[in-house]
Structure 1
């Protein structure tokens, strides 16, 4: 996978009136950290921003997530922690999330890197996974079943298809870091 873009990456949102996301991937001694922020204007009445950090182990299994959101409804914070397969949201155990390995911050292209790197699919393979999906800006968290399919490469880029029963399916390309370049109908990398 080749890319002329350097980290941090920036994406323009395609599904809203205006939106910009900037994020990076950091290698740490015991895992990886994803840092990102996003500002979104849906329409004249809905706008929000969020900032999030995801920490994983060396196998790309999520250990914790912190999301801060600002919207017309005020400021919210969510802290998710995964310990020994058990999930905790703001200190309270969340049984619904047991068995989830990844987190997905709604419409944030950076969190797609987690299953891409963790699953290591080859072209033609797919995997159904359960994730802790976080809605932004409400920061409600729920279990969501998602499918990642690795497609044949095109134009020197690796391609994937993402699908779930709530939002449908989308194709996207990634760079050599596993970071999204173009995400059909959602986001396009601008740097």
Structure 2
């Protein structure tokens, strides 16, 4: 599915070290308003689905932070693999999560049994991953859906289940809720489901 008529075809070496042609569909820039922060994110399409990549430069807990991430999804927008590399002050850490064909999640050879069957990843440092359930659920205006996401917190890279609910409140607007409504945010999106405004926290500059 071509989301962008101006998309560019090119050969890209994937994280699996196998040559694969990927098509660049979107190149996006977000600004965060409660912290000094900027993010460049890109969406690619390939034979098996989509790849979402991003680079975030910000400050958390008074420390400069640089985060690069890559999220692999199926053609139906189910998350299959996540790679994160984080530089926080003078410390560096990485996280690699993968979901197998039986919908079981793994990290460094260890099965994360409490995440079995979950389809979505939520990176707490970016609004880009809100697009994944928005595209996967395909809600119509007025419809709602609940699910549990694999939530990654920053800068700790702690992973935990997070109950979430999306309600499509308009043609290009959603209400996002987590922890059974304890947190709520109104999202505005573009025609491809990418956030243009996330409450008063993030806005897109391109």
Aligned-partner Cα distance in 1 for 2:200–2:88? 23
**Which runs of no fewer than 5 residues in structure 2 stay unpaired?**
1-24
* Cα deviation, residue 73, structure 1: 5.9
Please report how far the alpha carbon of residue 167 of structure 1 lies from its aligned counterpart in structure 2 after TM superposition. 6.0
Matched, 1:119 2:137: yes
**Pairwise CA distance, 1:175:** 1.1
Runs of 4+ with deviation above 2 angstroms: none
Confirm whether residue 14 of structure 1 aligns to residue 33 of structure 2: yes
2:77 aligns with one of 60, 82, 89: 60
Question: What's the RMSD between the two structures over aligned residues?
Answer: 1.6
User: What's the secondary structure of 1:112's corresponding residue?
Assistant: helix
**Distance in 2 (alpha carbons) for counterparts of 1:145 and 1:73:** 33
Aligned match of 2:17: none
Equivalence for 1:95: 113
- Bigger relative CO (Cα 8 Å, ≥ 6 apart): 1
Cα distance change of structure 1 residues 131 and 175 upon mapping to structure 2, 3 Å threshold? same
Match of 1:162 among 176, 184, 189: 176
Matched residue pairs, number?
Answer: 180
Partner of 1:49: 66
Distance across 2 between alignment mates of 1:94 and 1:185: 34
- Please report the TM-score for the alignment, with normalisation by the length of structure 1: 0.89
Q: Which residue of 1 aligns with 2:163?
A: 145
* Secondary structure in structure 1 of the residue aligned to 2:26: coil
Q: What residue in structure 1 maps to residue 54 of structure 2?
A: 36
Q: Which residue of 2 aligns with 1:178?
A: 193
Please state whether the residue corresponding to 1:116 is helix, strand or coil: helix
Q: Within 1, Cα distance between the matches of 2:64 and 2:155?
A: 9
For residues 131 and 105 of structure 1, the distance between their equivalents in structure 2, rounded to whole angstroms, comes to 10
Deviates more, 1:176-185 or 1:164-173: 164-173
Instruction: Return the TM-score normalized by structure 2.
Output: 0.83
1:139 positional shift: 0.9
Given that 1:159 and 1:172 are in contact with CA atoms closer than 8 Å, whether structure 2 keeps it comes out as yes
Please say if 1:70 is aligned against 2:87: yes
- What is aligned with 2:152? 134
Unaligned segments of structure 1, at least 5 residues: 1-5
